[in-house]
Amino acid sequence: MDRRTFSRNVALVGAAAALSPFGIVRAQQQKLRVGMLLPRSGYLGFIGQSCQKGADLAPGVIRDMLGVEVELMNADFESSVDTARTRAERLIQEGANVLIGAFDSGASAAIAQVAEQRGVPFIVNIAAAPQITEQGYKYVYRVFPTSIDLLRNGLSLIGDLFQTTNTVPRTAVFMHVNDTFGQSMAKGIGAMLPRLTQLPFKIVDTIPYDPTAKDLTVEVSKARASNPDFLLIVSRLNDAIVLRREMVKQRWNPMGIISPGSPGMYEEQFFKTLGKLSDYCITNVPWYNPKQPLTQRVEKAFAKQNPKDQMPYHALNVGFTFEAVLVAADAFKRAKTTEPKALTEAIRGTGIRDRMMIGGPIRFNAKGQVEEQMSASIQNFNLKPRVVLPASAAEAKPVFPVPGYRKA
């Protein structure tokens, strides 16, 4: 290197160093660095891995759609709220332009605090506790419905189910996980159910339980003793498996098991572990629209990346995680910068009509919450989740009351 080249290089490095605090160099970044925070191990591990599939396929699909480069920075927070907080800090230190995650409400609330303090946008893919978008945060956005919306849609679909199947169950036992999500759902049900006079049933017992519980003998014994017509459940995945097994052990056969909007019973692991015992469980959740062109595009990418897997088992997790990355990439394209404030403003101005999930366009309200989300009623048949309601999207007819279990 001659003296002139050396001097020029030094000058360039100096200029870059001088300009970087003002975001001038950073503004020219060609790709968006997305810090993806998911619980890929621990008791939420299976669902976290399912969400990760949606994240992994996003950069390729988005490159084709928008011509935007997305780089994923993956972090596993091990189903621990504290670890979620520290991983979020580290991702920001390592240069993440936007954070996405975290499936769990408790972890999402912790990450939201970090994002707000550090001034980095955070898009919640899945987490329903309303308080996440009720804190007046400026950098937090959510593409998933709140537990209030989930419940409103879920309970309304329960009414539709009874109407469609001409059944009038009078009693239910409500079992729910006692984490942030479960508590907020329970609170919502307590407030909402008495006002929904069109629903014919009343809750005769409410049983909270630990989502990490390895044994639910007592809980199921208690629920069974109330002899309800059906079981209303807000679960996670592992506990849903333990609970279903325990019901069989205790020979408890209610008219059905219905979730008004929680994970667990439509997940791949639920089918794999329980076999035929997974059949007929009903979950009312936001689901993807198989007829949307974007869904078909994502399905193709999913099949390519996961040749041994099927997307219906990951529908909700893949759908919302992909849409969260899409929101970030779309904002980056419009903002033409990774500068946090500009990127956040661009996210606020999102208006995506061509989407995967059933519902209106992705548009955030003043609190950073997407509205107009809808749910579908999913029932398990032959080890697959099938849409049974609304009738317009139904792939099968709902079965209620469900037939007695047989050994898997």
- Under the rule (CB under 8 A), what is the footprint of other proteins? 40-42, 45-46, 78, 178, 207-210, 213-219, 221-222, 225, 238, 242, 245, 248-251, 273, 277, 407
Q: What is the full DSSP assignment across 90-102?
A: HHHHTT-SEEEE-
For the bound state, the minimum distance from the C-beta of residue 214 to other proteins, rounded and expressed in Å, comes to 4
Question: Is the Cβ of residue 225 or residue 396 nearer to other proteins in the bound state?
Answer: 225
Question: Is the Cβ of residue 68 or residue 242 nearer to other proteins in the bound state?
Answer: 242
For the bound state, the minimum distance from the C-beta of residue 384 to other proteins, rounded and expressed in Å, comes to 21
Kindly state the helix (H) or strand (E) to which residue 326 belongs, with its residue range: helix 315-335
Closest by CA to 44, choosing from 360, 231, 262, 247, is 262
109 neighbors 314 (Cβ within 8 angstroms): no
For the bound state, the minimum distance from the C-beta of residue 42 to other proteins, rounded and expressed in Å, comes to 6
Phi, psi of 83 (to 5 degrees): -65, -35
Question: Is the Cβ of residue 249 or residue 304 nearer to other proteins in the bound state?
Answer: 249
Alpha carbons 207 and 17: distance in angstroms, whole number: 59
Question: Is the Cβ of residue 111 or residue 216 nearer to other proteins in the bound state?
Answer: 216
Question: Is the Cβ of residue 210 or residue 339 nearer to other proteins in the bound state?
Answer: 210
For the bound state, the minimum distance from the C-beta of residue 403 to other proteins, rounded and expressed in Å, comes to 17
Residue 118 corresponds to which amino acid?
R
Question: Is the Cβ of residue 205 or residue 345 nearer to other proteins in the bound state?
Answer: 205
**Strand 376-381 with 282-285, pairing:** antiparallel
155 neighbors 128 (Cβ within 8 angstroms): no
265 neighbors 134 (Cβ within 8 angstroms): no
For the bound state, the minimum distance from the C-beta of residue 279 to other proteins, rounded and expressed in Å, comes to 15
Neighbours of 167 (CB within 10 A): 16
For the bound state, the minimum distance from the C-beta of residue 47 to other proteins, rounded and expressed in Å, comes to 12
Contacts of 7 (CB under 8 A, 6+ apart): none
For the bound state, the minimum distance from the C-beta of residue 317 to other proteins, rounded and expressed in Å, comes to 16
Tell me how far apart the 2 most distant CA atoms of the chain are, in Å. Answer: 89
Question: Is the Cβ of residue 216 or residue 362 nearer to other proteins in the bound state?
Answer: 216
